[in-house]
Structure 1
Amino acid sequence: MDCSTSGPIVSLGTVVNATSCSIADGSIGVSASAGKEPYLFAINGLPAQADGSFKNLSAGAYTLSVTDANGCSSFVENVAIKASDFKFTTQLIGDSDCLGGNGQVTVNVEQLNPPYSYRLGTGSFGESNVFAALATGTYGITVKDNNGCSVNLSVTVPRAFSGVSWENDVRPIIVKSCALSGCHNGDSRSDLRVFDNAKFYAASIKSKTRDRSMPREGTLKQSEIDLISCWVDDGAVAN
């Protein structure tokens, strides 16, 4: 099954801010459509639940997901809950370096109880509110103020246009590992060396190389899988 075309769709509903940094009374509502019922909803990777209403939330930034009965998932990211004594925004720069990481997150906090300190993941706290050289993905950022308020942010760095080339990067991978006898060389299955065919099946190619069900021998390097994914995310262009 191609989850990119037949998976669920998650929609953000009402977001209620918390009263203060010390009171966890914020809430987020999400709903789901498409895909196959029943749905399971989750927030920040915590155990899933049967409904899309999340209550008793502290100030912070959240990632929410819905997973359908076929195991396909959809996400809504960077959902902010603020508080009277903790108001913030996040500025994101997408990652355009497919095999490295040049994304960036800047956390802008209204200076209500300065000074503030910032930490990425389990690293050390510091004064800088800017985190650079980040690959596409979701990161935990913690912010502390002068009154002992500690707020956790789940922030997702988006994928920016990478410029991965069909002709120079992706097609050689397909020629080497996919367009083999009995596979995608045009004899019994679509010839994926042909751009129009590869574009038509682009989402499936990305999904099946990422879960290593294709090629059957599982011979692709991680860098090759990443190049295919970036090309697909770019729109599977004929470059």
Structure 2
Amino acid sequence: MTTLFRLFFAAFCLCIFVIMISGCGRNDDMTVNCSVSGPAISVESTAAPTCSTPGTVTVAVSGGTDPVTFSINGLDFQSSSEFSGLAPGTYTLTVMDANECTATTSVGLAVKNDLTLSFTASVAGCEGSEGSVELSATGGSGTYLYSIDGKNFVESSVFSGLANGEYSVAVKDGFCEFHTKAIVPSGLSFDTAIATIIKNKCAVDGCHVTGSQFPDMTSFKGIQDNAKQIGLRVGNRGMPPMQEGIAQLEEDEINKIVCWVTDGAPNN
């Protein structure tokens, strides 16, 4: 009995040893190398958010072991590879397979601004404040705030009591803004208010005529092409030069030229 027991015990221990060795072998076989057999992720498509609609991102995956799940914040995984309802920003996308191998990528969504703004303006007069601007917006959410200076926004789209000049008008909703320039005209006519001043006091012998070194103001094109410079020089009292024998502009004439240039130097 003793010998038989010893043989039985030895066989039992050998069996246990074999099982342990076999078990270790199976564990080694089941070890997953994620860098070799894990998934890869890429961005398949995006739809940029607009002022009125959120964005979407769809990811693509290759490799890995099914089933795979997806996350846009690293926490809440889902079976769908599409994420919607996204505001502008940068997102980290993660895919995880059945072996808990993961891969990440990132995507940025910039807002596609679909707001537009147009305006109508009434004349202000050269030295008055009778002008107005009415703004009209399209696109976006439809809930608009308006600005006449690009900074302070109000509900009204009509601004009155404006002097002649250029204004930085804007509209905004939600998280979108659209800025443009609006001109409140003086209403001065080149033919009736400006041409005579330039002819008599600017385009004179030796100054601003054909063949001189100065811009030629004997033609409307020559005047219009240099309108900004003319307005600046006249407004700073630098033209005509303060020289004996050169007729100087009256204050009213200076104001008229500056007003007409501010209007955009129209051929009116």
Per the normalisation by structure 2, the TM-score is 0.40
- Higher fraction of helix: 2
* TM-score of the superposed pair, with normalisation by structure 1: 0.44
Tell which has more relative contact order, 1 or 2 (C-alpha 8 A, sep 6+): 1
